[in-house]
Amino acid sequence: DGGITQSPKYLFRKEGQNVTLSCEQNLNHDAMYWYRQDPGQGLRLIYYSQIVNDFQKGDIAEGYSVSREKKESFPLTVTSAQKNPTAFYLCASSIEDSTYEQYFGPGTRLTVT
């Protein structure tokens, strides 16, 4: 079955450590996205990529980094510079641009203490 996988489902880290969240899709989609979700704040876009080896900052990119070396993969690194990293992180993909629906992964809940 085609879809998006995010791993792990739950992730715990100590403050000051970088952590990388995995996102893989086998839908042959060109575009991929990372969102952060906090209670009562909806979805906030962190980074997005429309093509391999290219990506753009979203609304809250500070303290995060991404890479897009393969079409199928779009990992997100939460760096120690991110002041409030504890959140629910969602990865999504779409065929091309924003005129197409996005397919979402199940999410990763990151807790930093």
Partner 1 sequence: AQSVTQPDIHITVSEGASLELRCNYSYGATPYLFWYVQSPGQGLQLLLKYFSGDTLVQGIKGFEAEFKRSQSSFNLRKPSVHWSDAAEYFCAVGEKNAGKSTFGDGTTLTVKP
**Count of residues in contact with partner 1, rule CB under 8 A:** 27
Contacting range for partner 1; rule: CB under 8 A; set: 18-26, 33-41, 66-74, 77-85: 33-41
Please pick, from the candidates 52, 58, 80, 86, the single residue that binds partner 1 as defined by CB under 8 A. Answer: 58
Consecutive H or E run containing 111: strand 108-112
Consecutive H or E run containing 11: strand 10-13
DSSP 43-89: EEEEEEEEETTEEEE-TT-TTEEE--SBTTB--EEE-TT-S---EEE
Q: Indicate the residue among 78 and 89 with the shorter CB distance to partner 1.
A: 89
Q: Does 61 bind partner 1 (CB under 8 A)?
A: no
In eight-state DSSP terms, residue 102 is -
Full strand arrangement of the beta sheet holding 19-25: 4-7, 19-25, 76-78, 64-66
Please pick, from the candidates 45, 60, 61, 95, the single residue that binds partner 1 as defined by CB under 8 A. Answer: 45
Please pick, from the candidates 50, 65, 73, 77, the single residue that binds partner 1 as defined by CB under 8 A. Answer: 50
By CB under 8 A, name the binding residues for partner 1: 4, 31, 33, 40-43, 45, 48, 50, 56, 58, 88, 90, 92, 97-107, 109
